[in-house]
Amino acid sequence: MKTLSTSSDPASEVALITGASSGIGLHLAREFARHGHPLVLIAPVQAELDNICSALRTDFSASVSAFAYDLRAESAVDAIFGQLAAIGLMPSIIVNNAGVGRRGRVWEMPVEDDIGMIRLNIEAVVRLTKRALPVLLQRGGGRILNTASVAGFEPGPLLATYHATKAFVLSWSESMATELEDTPVTVTTLCPGPVDTDFFVKADMIDTDAFQKARLLAPQEVAEAGYKALMAGDRIVVPGAMNKTLVFSRRLLPEAAQARANEKLYKRTDASKRKRERGEVEADAAAKEARAL
Strand 142-147 with 93-96, pairing: parallel
Predicted TM-score of the model (pTM): 0.93
Please give the average per-residue pLDDT across 60-80, as a whole number. 97
Mean of pLDDT over the chain: 93
Going from N- to C-terminal start, the domains of the chain cover 10-292
In this predicted structure, what is the pLDDT of residue 254? 86
φ and ψ at 189, to 5 degrees? -110, 120
Please give the average per-residue pLDDT across 151-178, as a whole number. 97
Q: Is the pLDDT of residue 139 over 80?
A: yes
Instruction: Look at the chain and count its residues.
Output: 293
Q: Is the pLDDT of residue 7 over 80?
A: no
φ and ψ at 197, to 5 degrees? -135, 180
pLDDT single digits (tens) 23-33: 999 999 999 99
Active site positions, annotated? 162, 166
d(CA 83, CA 90): 10
In this structure, which amino acid lies at residue 2? K
pLDDT single digits (tens) 204-220: 999 999 999 988 999 99
d(CA 195, CA 109): 24
Please give the average per-residue pLDDT across 19-41, as a whole number. 97
Rounded percentage of the chain residues whose pLDDT exceeds 70: 96
pLDDT: which is higher, 166 or 3: 166
CB 14 within 8 A of CB 91: yes
CB 96 within 8 A of CB 45: no
Q: How confident is the model at residue 293 (pLDDT cuts 50, 70, 90)?
A: low
Element at 145 (helix H, strand E): strand 142-147
In this predicted structure, what is the pLDDT of residue 250? 72
Rounded percentage of the chain residues whose pLDDT exceeds 90: 83
Strand 64-68 with 142-147, pairing: unpaired
Please give the average per-residue pLDDT across 165-182, as a whole number. 98
Q: How confident is the model at residue 128 (pLDDT cuts 50, 70, 90)?
A: very high
In this predicted structure, what is the pLDDT of residue 244? 86
Please give the average per-residue pLDDT across 63-75, as a whole number. 97
In this predicted structure, what is the pLDDT of residue 271? 81
d(CA 211, CA 265): 9
Q: Is the pLDDT of residue 133 over 80?
A: yes
Strand order in the sheet with 142-147: 64-68, 39-43, 15-18, 93-96, 142-147, 185-190, 236-237
Q: Is the pLDDT of residue 253 over 90?
A: no
Q: Is the pLDDT of residue 10 over 90?
A: no
Q: Is the pLDDT of residue 5 over 60?
A: no
d(CA 59, CA 36): 11
In this predicted structure, what is the pLDDT of residue 1? 37
Counting Cβ atoms within 10 Å, is residue 205 exposed (0-12), middle (13-18) or buried (19+)? buried
The CATH fold of domain 10-292: Rossmann fold (3.40.50)
Q: Where are the beta strands (DSSP E) in 32-132?
A: 39-43, 64-68, 93-96
